[in-house]
Amino acid sequence: MSGGQRLAGRHVLLTGAGGGIGLAVAEACIAEGAVCSIVDIAPTRPEPVAALLERHAGRAAYIAADITAPGAIDRMLADASAAFGPVHCLFNNAAVFDLAPLLEADEASFDRLFSVNVKGFFFVMQAVLRQMVEQGTSGASIINMASQAGRRGEALVSHYCATKAAVISYTQSAALAMAPHGIRVNAIAPGVVDTPMWAHVDSLFAKAEGLPIGEKKKRVGEAVPLGRMGTPSDIAGAAVFLASDEARYITAQCLNVDGGNVMS
């Protein structure tokens, strides 16, 4: 992605950014002039993050945080503010995935997915929005990570689909609540994206559907109308757009970035 200044002078806070989509969005935001607080659950910075910090010295900081732990969100936001000042944009990306046949889906999986994907997601958004309102942050925006799974149910993925549907609903509610403050709230719904997480997803589908390892990934890529899985950079371009002034009249929307899987 070519560099520019669409996000010059802005501080972007990214959760779930130790690799994959989150890290690609951080890289793209830095290329557009932003400084980034990169948050992930790992207690020490993952190697891909360390490499980014070396490439962009002084432009990014790593913050370890488990967004489901008591007090963690407030500490995360305090550390981010200490590093780079008020947050102008939140890329709300931290999430976990699991699947099971509906009649076997258990309470432990339900609790884990809703704890991270809904409760953690919501209270991160709330904390950042509260700071934005209190400080009158100019050009503020929130980008929540939904999924094509939030657009429709899937037989093996009921809990995850429900969590991502909640992300879309909360995005709409927050956008309406924040409109009087000039803060935009949008979401991105990726389709199937080729990230390291897909090895885990593929193995779960292989077990549930009796497939060879790698077959599910092959099939879902071939089924995309554009003929391939997405890449983290496909999502990064959409995120930079929504964070920038080019999207200044866009709020309460969920942008499908899925190669044509879902039409709306």
Domain CATH code at residue 21:
3.40.50.720
| Per-residue pLDDT at 3 exceeds 70 | no
Does one domain contain both 155 and 203?
A: no
Query: What pLDDT is recorded for position 183?
Result: 97
Tokens 């490439």 -> residue = 55
Token code pair at residue 257: 């970035």
Q: Which residue among the candidates 62, 160, 170, 249 is catalytic per the annotation? A: 160
Write out pLDDT tens, residues 41-51.
Answer: 999 999 999 99
* Structural domain boundaries enclosing 223: 193-229
Q: Quick one: average pLDDT of 55-62?
A: 98
What percentage of residues in the chain have a pLDDT greater than 90? 95
Q: Is 160 a catalytic residue?
A: yes
Is there a contact between 202 and 253 (Cβ–Cβ < 8 Å)?
no
Q: Kindly state whether residue 52 falls inside one of the protein's structural domains.
A: yes
| Per-residue pLDDT at 177 exceeds 80 | yes
Distance CA 142, CA 209 (A): 37
Does one domain contain both 116 and 220?
A: no
Q: Kindly state whether residue 37 falls inside one of the protein's structural domains.
A: yes
CA distances from 96 to 118, 146, 197 (A): 10, 12, 9
Q: What is the pTM of this model?
A: 0.96
Is there a contact between 83 and 61 (Cβ–Cβ < 8 Å)?
yes
Query: What pLDDT is recorded for position 1?
Result: 44
Does one domain contain both 42 and 64?
A: yes
Does one domain contain both 168 and 47?
A: yes
Does one domain contain both 169 and 250?
A: yes
Selection from 83, 99, 107 nearest residue 164 by Cα: 99
Q: Kindly state whether residue 71 falls inside one of the protein's structural domains.
A: yes
Q: Kindly state whether residue 263 falls inside one of the protein's structural domains.
A: no
Write out pLDDT tens, residues 64-74.
Answer: 999 999 999 99
Does one domain contain both 63 and 182?
A: yes
For residue 58, the one-letter residue type is G
Helices (H), the chain: 20-31, 47-55, 72-84, 107-114, 121-135, 158-178, 197-209, 215-223, 232-243
Does one domain contain both 16 and 80?
A: yes
Q: Quick one: average pLDDT of 118-122?
A: 98
For residue 146, the one-letter residue type is A
